[in-house]
Structure 1
Amino acid sequence: MVNTDSIQISPEILSLIAEIDEFKGAWRALGTLAPERLNALRHVATIESIGSSTRIEGSRLTDREVERLLSDLRITRLDSRDEQEVAGYAEVMDTIIHAWADIPVTENHIKQLHRDLLKHSAKDERHRGAYKTLRNDVGAFDADGTMIGVVFETATPFDTPRKMEALVAWLAEAREVGRLHPLLIVAVFVVVFLAIHPFQDGNGRLSRALTTLLLLQAGYAYVPYSSLESVIEQNKEGYYMALRQTQGTIDTEAPDWQPWLVFFLRALQQQKRRLEDKVERERRAQTELTDLAIRILDYARDHGRVTTRDMVHEHGASPNTTKATFASLVAKSLLVRHGAGRSTWYGLP
């Protein structure tokens, strides 16, 4: 069983938890943006999360390339490893965001998410959805990709099933007992999961997907609207250092949880602050809209699409003013332009 008796709630940890929980409580008031703007925020955050989480593991695809790939997924052959990883992560995140309440955190469901994560990679067919059968210690590699040393020893294949069973049981008990704050429960689960490294490949990506799942289940409903993975990617060195500092002590009598807990909570703080800034910018943009712009957005919301002719006929607006207003709404990402010339129409993002 996971030993959390040595967790010390420092003033910094207490302050971070309080700030994050304050935002959690205020999200309903902050989330009063128009539905299409919230959807746009979530779309951007999802692309950032997929791009960042796969790049942390070595992918080279930019966010723009990730978005292009996912928009053409049905007709695109996933030839490269990077593309396969992006497609798999996107499907897992979509499942979690839309069905988080119906996904119990059991060993079987963790295995199922892992299977979906690697479903597009033929190379991983043998071990997807199954615990590892070979050692997968975390190593240091030279410029040619050759491992030159072991940075961290993970659980052996023999010990992995027992340790995963204990981790899942600890999670269920910790949630039920409620002695630890939910954010600390999520943090401990993630760092122990990565210390076990239960699968042959994909553990890092799966751990970040599970983080989103656990946060949503803990009531942090704003999480899909701001990318935690992007925060981690931009602090990757600190991420690995905090993991190693805590993981090296997990099997001792007094594990040192502090390095990882502080990093994890600071990352959550940065995630929510980014979202606060985005929401504030969106609110300012909405209050700066003209009456005509608001009518255009209302028309698009009611009818699914809108043209400049609709506004000229409906409200008697001048064609030049109407065109300028449409251009402004497109520039603010409040509308998306479709077609060209006389066939041009606009829709919500």
Structure 2
Amino acid sequence: MIKTDSIRITPEFLAIIAECDEFKGAWRALGALAPERLNALRHVATIESIGSSTRIEGAKLSDREVERLLSDLKINSFITRDEQEVAGYAETMGTIFEVWPHIPLTENHIKQLHRDLLRHSEKDDRHRGGYKTLPNSVVAFDETGQQIGIIFETASPFDTPRLMAELVEWYIEARETRRLHPLLLIAVFVVVFLEIHPFQDGNGRLSRILTTLLLLQAGYTYVPYSSLESVIENSKEAYYLALRQTQGTIRTDTPNWQPWILFFLQALAQQKRRLAAKVEREKITLATLPELAAQIIEQARQHGRVTIGEMAKVTGASRNTLKVHFRRLVEQGHLTRYGTGKGSWYALP
């Protein structure tokens, strides 16, 4: 049984919820950008989300490396564990973005998302899409890779099916009866899911996939355009601390939900503020730049980098004219130059 009576709705909680809900309501106006601009924002956010979520779990690929890998997902052959995790996360996120209205929260759909998440992972072939059969407590390791202790005891394999059924049933019933604000419901669902740790591996990544799904279904349709995973990666110590402080109390008579809910809401507020700043910057930048300069910025946003030669092919402008625009964009802080001579290229700061 999930006991939420002990949740204290503090003024800080209310202020953050109101801020996110106001942005949700104003998204149509704030996001009144051309479709290609929105696509560029979503492309960048998706790369950040995939890179951050896999790095939180120990992967090493940078956002640039993630983008290069995803530029050719059709290869269907990924050599390293990091590549396999990135490919699976990207494809599962793509599914969420495309069909989120048609994915009901059921145990079967959660298992299907887990299967998709680990589809490229050879190591996880035997257990993907099924609940764990072995204990998977969260452990700490020293610098040599030796286990030095258990940080958190997760649910036993025997208890996992029952606890997952309870969690899904609780969430659906609480959402239908509007027992709590949707953001609080999602926060509780995520921390209980991680406390159960229902799968042998991939629980952290799947929790962030499910967070995106539930936020979209709750009406926060701006979520794909700003990376929540990146916010969490930048606050990883606070993320784990908040999880531990709440997780250890969930099965007691008085669960302490406050640490996790506060972290979760603050992360959502940071995600929203980043997006609001990006949209405003896009409007100001594109409204004040010459058309050719705006095209250069757009090319950099969509592809992560841009060269004078590429823009000459795209626009038909002369290289000398483009050099002037590139130089001004660097001077104005809109672009950063890398390399020298013919090998130089440019990217957003």
Question: Same fold by TM (over 0.5)?
Answer: yes
Write out aligned runs for 1:172-321 (5 A).
172-290=172-290
* Matched letter for residue 98 of structure 1: E
Residue segments in structure 2 that go unaligned for 5+ positions in a row = 298-309, 336-341, 343-349
Post-superposition offset of 1:74: 1.9
2:58 alignment partner, SS class = coil
Mapped to 1, the partners of 2:312 and 2:67 lie a distance apart of: 29
Identity %: 69
Aligned length: 321
1-side partners of 2:311 and 2:187: how far apart?
A: 49
Output the amino acid matched with 1:148: I
Q: Structure 1: which amino acid aligns with 2:33? A: L
1:206 counterpart SS class: helix
TM-score of the pair, normalised by structure 1 = 0.86
**Residues 103 and 310 (structure 1 numbering): CA distance in 2 closer, same or farther, change over 3 Å?**
closer
1:47 lines up with 2:47 in the alignment: yes
In 2, the alpha carbon distance for the partners of 1:92 and 1:190 equals 18
Query: Relative to structure 1, is the Cα distance of residues 127 and 321 closer, same or farther in structure 2, using a 3 angstrom cutoff?
Result: same
Alpha-carbon distance in 1 for matches of 2:257, 2:59: 29
The CA distance in 2 between the partners of 1:310 and 1:215, in whole Å, is 38
Tell me by how many angstroms 1:328 deviates. Answer: 8.6
Cα shift at 1:146: 2.2
Deviation at 1:307, TM superposition (A): 8.8
Which residue identity is paired with 2:142? D
Query: 8 Å contact 1:135–1:157 — kept in the other structure?
Result: yes
Query: After TM superposition, which residue ranges in structure 1, 4 or more long, deviate above 4 angstroms?
Result: 291-297, 306-312, 318-333
Separation in 1, partners of 2:259, 2:296: 51
CA distance in 2 between partners of 1:193 and 1:31 (Å): 32
Query: 1:148: how far off?
Result: 1.3
User: Matched residues in 1 for 2:19 and 2:291: separation?
Assistant: 37
Cα pair 2:243 2:259 within 8 Å, conserved: yes
Shift of the 328–257 alpha-carbon distance from structure 1 to 2, 3 Å rule, reads: same
Residue number in structure 1 paired with 2:10: 10
Shift of 1:290: 3.6
- In the TM superposition, what is the alpha-carbon distance from 1:285 to its structure 2 partner? 1.3
Q: What is the distance in 2 between the residues matched to 1:27 and 1:181?
A: 19
Q: In the aligned structure 2, how far is the partner of 1:233 from the partner of 1:292? A: 36
* Partner in structure 1 of residue 64 of structure 2: 64
User: What is residue 166 of structure 1 aligned with on the other side?
Assistant: 166
The one-letter code of the counterpart of 2:164 is M
**Residue deviations 1:143-190 (CA, integer Å, cap 9, x gap):** 222221111100000000000000000011011000200000000000
TM-score of the two chains, using structure 2 as the length reference: 0.86
Match in the other structure for 2:303: none
CA distance in 2, matches of 1:281, 1:191: 34
User: Which deviations, in whole Å up to 9, do the C-alpha atoms of 1:90-140 show, x marking residues without a partner?
Assistant: 011000011100100100000000000110011101000000000000111
Instruction: Name structure 1 gaps, 5 residues minimum.
Output: 298-305, 313-317, 334-339, 341-349
- Taking a change above 3 Å as real, the CA distance of residues 268 and 274 of structure 1, as seen in their structure-2 partners, is same
Task: Quote the RMSD (CA, aligned, Å).
Answer: 2.6
The code of the aligned residue for 2:18 comes to A
Structure 1 stretch displaced more, 319-328 or 169-178: 319-328
In the alignment, structure 1 residue 83 sits paired with structure 2 residue 88: no
Q: Structure 2 counterpart of 1:286, which letter? A: L
Whether 1:37 aligns to 2:37 is yes
CA–CA distance in structure 2, aligned partners of residues 54 and 293 of structure 1? 34
1: distance between equivalents of 2:29 and 2:123?
A: 47
Q: Do the aligned partners of 1:69 and 1:76 also contact (CA within 8 Å) in 2?
A: no
SS of equivalent residue, structure 1 residue 249? coil
Q: Is the 8 A contact 1:292 1:325 kept in 2?
A: no
Question: Residue 312 of structure 2 contacts residue 319 of structure 2 at CA under 8 Å; is this kept in 1?
Answer: no
Q: Is 2:293–2:326's contact at 8 Å kept on the other side of the alignment?
A: no
Q: Distance in 2 between matches of 1:225 and 1:200?
A: 31
Superposition pairs of residues 114-193 of structure 1, within 5 angstroms: 114-193=114-193
Name the CA distance, whole Å, in 2 between partners of 1:9 and 1:238.
21
